[in-house]
Amino acid sequence: MNFNAWFLELQTRTAQNAGAGLVAFKKLLLRLKNPQNKTKIIHVAGTNGKGTVCTLLAHVLMFGGQKTGLFVSPHLISPTERIQVNGQEISQEDLMQAVQAVLAAQEEPLNFFELITAAAFVYFAAQRVQYAVLETGLGGRKDPTNVCVPVLSIITSIGLDHTHLLGTTLAQIAAEKAGIIKPAVPVLCGDVPDEAATAIEQAVLENCAPLTWVKEGQPFYEYAYDFVNGFTALHTADRQEWDLHLLGGLQTQNACLVYQAARQLDVPESAIKTAFETMYLPGRFERIKKGNTTFILDGAHNPQAVQNLLAFWQKTPYAMQRPTLLCGFMKDKDFKEMLAILAPHFARVIVTVPPSLRAATRRDFGDLLRAPSITFESDFRTALTLAQKEPVVLCTGSFYLVGAVHAAE
C-alpha cells in the first residue's frame, strides 16, 4: 500500500469510531513508556490562531538553539506537515513506523487523531527533542493532546465554533479550551470576550496557575503591510520596527503572544526577531500566481475567522480589483453563515466541494446557492479552472480547499 492510500485508511477511523477516550489513551501511552513525558511541552488551544502561534513559536525556539518538535493539524498539502522537528517534516517512512508502533500497543480502537497524536509523541521521544509545541485538535479538555503536563499553556482566542461539541456560548467554549490549564503551570491568553475571560479566570483560579493576558501592543502594534512579499511591519511603543513574515488581521496579536511566550522561555530577543523575519507559513493570507491570476489563499474556516479575514481584506489593494471568491466548507462548520458573511463583498462567487469526506455539498446549502452572483461547481478542479479566468481570487473557507488549490498544477 502506498503512503497516500495508507493515510486515507487511517483517516477513515474518525468516522468509524469515537476513539478510546482520555483514560484509555493514557493507558496506551503508559504501554509506550509515556513518550509525552520525555520533552518540555508548550500546549496551545484556541478557536483561531493556534496553528500560527504553534508554528511561529516552534520557529522561535529553534532559532533559540532548542531542538523543537511541532504538532499541528490539519495539514495543507502533505500529512507529514503535521509532525515536524526543527522545521523538517517527518518522513513518510518514519510516520508509518511511528503509527505502527502505536497500533501495536493499542488495546481499545483509536480514532485517527488519537493515532496521529500518539505517533507524534513517539517520534518526538525518539528524536530527543527538547521542546514540543502541541496544537489541540478540538477543544482542549477532552482532546488527546491533553495528556501532557506542559511547561506553558496558551489560549489564543475564543469564538463560536464546533458548537455541537463544545457548547453554544462563549463561556462554555472557553471552559472547554481552558481544560488544558494544569496546576501551577503558567498560562498566556490572548484578547478574548469578557464572557470567555471569566471562564478562563475560573479555571486558572482552580488550578492556582499564574495567568498573563496578552493584547495587541504587548509589545507590537501593526504599522504597515508589504502585500507583494507577505510581510507585516510591526512597531513597538519605543518605535522599534520588526518584520513579521505573515499577513492578516490577527497576526499582530499572534506575534505578541509568541513574543511573550518566548520571553517566558528565556529565548533571546535576537532569536525571536530572526524567526519572525524568516518563517514561512502557507495558507495564511498567502499570495500565489497561477497563470495570469493572483490567488490569495487563507484557511479561515469558522465565522470568527471569516469576519477577521474580511475586515483585513478591505485594507488590501486586492479589494479594489474586482475580486472573485472561490470557497468551500466542511459540513460540520457553520458554512451557511460563512457564505452569507463573504458573498455580498464579491461580484462573483464560486462555491465548490473541498476534497474531504466532511465537505459540504450542493444539497447542504439549500436556497443560498440561488443568488445570481453564485456559481456552484462540485468538482474543485473545474471550479479552479473557472476562477483562473479572473484577475484576482480570494480562496477561503477550508484548509482542505486551500491546500488543494495550492497544490494544483
Q: Which residues of 149-170 are buried (b: 16+ CB within 10 A; e: fewer)?
A: ebbbbbbbbbbbbbeeebbeeb
Residue numbers of the domain that contains 83: 3-278
Considering the domain architecture, whether residues 161 and 49 belong to the same structural domain is answered as yes
- The model's pLDDT over 196-220, given as tens digits with 9 standing for 90+, comes to 999 999 999 999 999 999 999 999 9
Q: Say if residue 28's pLDDT is above 80.
A: yes
Domain limit, last residue, from 278, 307, 334: 278
The band of 409, judged by pLDDT with boundaries at 50, 70 and 90, is confident
Query: What cell does 62 get?
Result: 529553534
Considering the domain architecture, whether residues 309 and 186 belong to the same structural domain is answered as no
Considering the domain architecture, whether residues 88 and 229 belong to the same structural domain is answered as yes
Instruction: Please say whether the beta carbons of 283 and 402 come within 8 A.
Output: yes
Distance CA 290, CA 398 (A): 19
The maximal CA–CA distance of the chain, rounded, in angstroms, is: 59
Domain limit, last residue, from 278, 294, 315: 278
In the 8-state DSSP scheme, what is residue 91?
P
Considering the domain architecture, whether residues 341 and 223 belong to the same structural domain is answered as no
Considering the domain architecture, whether residues 330 and 351 belong to the same structural domain is answered as yes
Any idea what the CATH number is for the domain that residue 374 is in?
Answer: 3.90.190.20
Distances in Å between the alpha carbon of 279 and those of 42, 130, 173, 273, 284? 19, 20, 30, 10, 12
Name residue 134's beta-bridge partners: 43, 71
Kindly report the average pLDDT of the chain as a whole number: 93
Q: What is the mean pLDDT of residues 308-314?
A: 94
> What is the predicted pLDDT for the residue at 163?
67
The band of 16, judged by pLDDT with boundaries at 50, 70 and 90, is low
Instruction: Please say whether the beta carbons of 178 and 155 come within 8 A.
Output: yes
Number of domains in the chain: 2
Distances in Å between the alpha carbon of 34 and those of 105, 108, 122, 186, 375? 12, 17, 9, 23, 51
Q: Which stretch of 142-156, 269-283, 287-301, 356-370 has the lowest confidence by average pLDDT?
A: 356-370
Considering the domain architecture, whether residues 254 and 326 belong to the same structural domain is answered as no
